[in-house]
Structure formats: structure tokens, C-alpha cells
Structure 1
Amino acid sequence: MNHPLHVGVLALQGDVREHLEALLRLGVDAVPVRRPAEIAAADGLIIPGGESTTMIKLARNFDLLDPLRDRIAAGLPTFGTCAGMILLADRIIDGTADQTTLGGLDITVRRNAFGRQTDSFETDLALTGLDTPVHAVFIRAPWVESVGPAVEVLGRVPDRADLGPAAGRIVAVRQGALMATSFHPEVGADGRVHELFLDLIRTR
């Protein structure tokens, strides 16, 4: 890829500004995405944290569902964080009765697995591709219950007794051009997780 990276952030709801700022700090041409033409122009796409049911309803209202699904299926590098992980998952546990996803990741996620917003927590975790642990912030986050054979597990919550049912849970995955984390890498100034995604774009 010879031109500067042009990365979109799905701008329907959620942590859009924080992701845009993280990308801009890394020298990327980062733009909010609200229209099919903007999806078509992107070299990569971030689906931010927010409220997954609200985001999918807005995507339907803005006629973005099919363009998103088509480009993801065609190999658009896409990074989902928190609610974005839910939207990329093929299967959801504890979703609403009518909840749908964009799909693409052969994973089963448990929605709001870490509890309510007051149960949110932070921890350091090792992530494949990074030399030192990343400080991960989980806010009403999902976790991954199971993965298909083509999915690479990039990170798990430390397997410590004090972390209760979250201990050892899968919270970062990659499959082909798709990547997802349960936590919010846009919180804080550590841009290494976003850089992992940019590397994924560059190698396509």
C-alpha cells in the first residue's frame, strides 16, 4: 500500500472521537464514517465501543448494514472494540431477542459479561505482538466464550483468583483481516494496540 492510510471510524454512536484522536496521533488519515461512500473509500475501519443494539439499529436506519457486511466479507481490515467486538461476532450470548450483528469473526461473545458500568475494571494484560503488557480498561465489556479454529487468541485476562469469573477469559482476537478487543485501547495515550491494527492493514 503506497498511499497514506485512510482509516474510518464508524461514527454512529460511542467512542468515535477518542479513536479518531488515537489514529491522528499515529499519523493516519482518520475520518468519521456515516455513509456508504465513506466505507467504500476506507483502507480500514474501526467499530468503536458504545451500545451494540443502538449501533446496529442506527446502521440499519442509515442504510449501512449491507455496505458494512459486504466490505467486511470482502476483506476490509476491521477492528472492533467492546461493542465493536459484539458487532463483529458471529454469535452472541445474552443479547436482545432481535439483536443482529455484522459478523465475520468466528467467535461467541457474552454481552455485558463484566457486569454493569459500576463493575468496570482495569488490569494489565499481555497481548500477542506487544513486548510489554497493555493497560486495559473494561467498561460493560463482553468477553469471548469460544473461538473457531481460524481465530487467533491475542490476549486473556490474567488468570488470578482475585479477578473472579473474568480470570483467564479471552478478550482479544484476530481472524484474517478482522481484529477485536473487549477493552478500550482508545482510553489513554498508549497507541500500540491501534498500531497493531495499522500493521494488519499494511500487510493486506
Structure 2
Amino acid sequence: MQIEDGKENSMVTVGVLGIQGAVKEHLEKLRLIPNVEAITVKTHQELNKVQGIIIPGGESTAIGKLLKEFSLMEPLKQRIEQGLPVWGTCAGMILLAKEICKEPTGHLEVMNIAVKRNAYGSQLNSFSTTKIIEEILENPIPLVFIRAPYVERFWGEARVIAEVEGNIVACRENNMLATSFHPELTEDLSFHRYFVERMILGKE
């Protein structure tokens, strides 16, 4: 699954929410994909330039607070609800979820999933594994979990893409993708290509 040189001449602009978390790592991965312009999004004007956006891993509470301080919470939520492709990794999954277990409110509250924060415990309980995720790639993909959440419930049009040890770690709902793990911290480009090619460019 690749964007072939010469066959996809137009550039696609993909943003990475740049207010906290693993921003640089996502930008570096996106820039390895042909015909992708990767930009940091910190303003409403930058948000309006992108055809898809990644919400990186980091501290979900801090990112949520900063989204409000940067006056980005409502504009981002509105664009996602209007169909902007979005991918949340780790903290990004929590920000997208309509429900956060044992917490009264969420953040963007756009995706029909309920997530458990720090589901695997502290930083010391971080781990890596590999798994074949058929929707993404036929070969095993490395998965890195750092203070990761997982999905406890899903409903509506949300569907499971991957489970690890019986826990839901990746879901998709229409224009929204959420993963518990960090593809940007591996050498593998499969998820970034999937997001660009399948979700933004619509090459299903």
C-alpha cells in the first residue's frame, strides 16, 4: 500500500497537533511518505490548512487543557464532526473518546468508545509486542505501549481493528482512528500510510 511516484502528483497536507506530546516523531514519519506535507497545528489557521490531523501521545489532561487555552477545542471538534480524518495515538485516543472510565466528562467526545486511562499501569509497565493487523498490513507490526489506555466499550459505528491479550487497542469509526500504542516510536510506517492513503485519500 503505497503512494506511487508519478501517480499521485498532488500534495496532501497532514497536521500533527503540536501543543504537547510526541509531535516531532509523527512529523518525521509523515515526511517519509511521498507527496505528504506534514505541518504542526497550533492555531485555528493551521487547522484550516490540513486534510487530516494526528493527535499524538502525551498527557491527555494537559493536551485537553491546552486545546482550550489555544482556542482549538471547539474548532477541532467541529472539523472532525464534519468529516476531517483524525488519528489519536495513546493520549489522542483518550481525547477522542466520548467516555473516559471513572471520569465525569471527556475532551473532544467525538468517537463512540469508552476508554480506560493508564490501563496497563505506570511507565514501568510499558511493553512492546508484534501483531498482524489484517486491515493495516499482512505482516506483523511492532506495537509499543507506554502508560497506554485501552477501549472498554464501543458502540454505534465504531469497530475494532486490533486486540492484544483480549484488550481492544485500536478502533476505527468512519473518519476517526484511535490506537493505544505508538507507531511513531517504531521504524514501521504502516499506520501512517494507512491514515494517509486509506483515510485521507480514500484508497479503500
Task: Give me the TM-score of the superposition, normalised by structure 1.
Answer: 0.91
Moved more, 114-123 or 13-22: 114-123
Counterpart residue type for residue 38 of structure 1: E
Counterpart residue type for residue 112 of structure 1: N
Secondary structure, aligned partner of 1:91 = strand
**Partners of 1:12 and 1:131 in 2: how far apart?**
34
Counterpart residue type for residue 3 of structure 1: S
Q: 2:67 aligns with which of 59, 64, 73?
A: 59
Shift of 1:137: 0.3
**Partners of 2:155 and 2:138 in 1: how far apart?**
26
Q: 2:181 aligns with which of 164, 183, 192?
A: 183
**Partners of 2:201 and 2:96 in 1: how far apart?**
21
1:38 and 2:36 correspond: no
| Structure-1 residue corresponding to 2:148 | 141
Any residues of structure 2 matched to 1:109-148 within 5 Å, and which?
A: 109-127=115-133, 128-148=135-155
Secondary structure, aligned partner of 1:125 = strand
Structure 1 moving runs of 4+ over 6 Å: none
Stretches of structure 2 lacking an aligned partner (at least 5 in a row):
1-7
**Partners of 2:118 and 2:17 in 1: how far apart?**
21
Shift of 1:2: 6.9
**Partners of 1:104 and 1:34 in 2: how far apart?**
20
| Structure-1 residue corresponding to 2:3 | none
Secondary structure, aligned partner of 1:55 = helix
Any residues of structure 2 matched to 1:1-204 within 5 Å, and which?
A: 3-27=10-34, 28-95=36-103, 100-127=106-133, 128-157=135-164, 167-199=165-197, 200-203=199-202
**Partners of 1:70 and 1:24 in 2: how far apart?**
27
| Structure-2 residue corresponding to 1:162 | none
**Partners of 1:9 and 1:155 in 2: how far apart?**
23
Identity of aligned residues (%): 45
Counterpart residue type for residue 60 of structure 2: S
**Partners of 2:154 and 2:33 in 1: how far apart?**
31
Shift of 1:94: 3.9
**Partners of 2:48 and 2:98 in 1: how far apart?**
22
Stretches of structure 1 lacking an aligned partner (at least 5 in a row):
158-166
Q: For residues 85-131 of structure 1, give each alpha carbon's deviation from its aligned partner in whole angstroms, at most 9, with x where no partner exists.
A: 00011100144x6x531122100000110110111111112212310
**Partners of 2:9 and 2:45 in 1: how far apart?**
21
Shift of 1:14: 0.3
**Partners of 1:196 and 1:140 in 2: how far apart?**
24
Contact 1:15 1:50 in 2 (8 A): yes
Secondary structure, aligned partner of 1:189 = coil
Secondary structure, aligned partner of 1:150 = coil
| Structure-2 residue corresponding to 1:163 | none
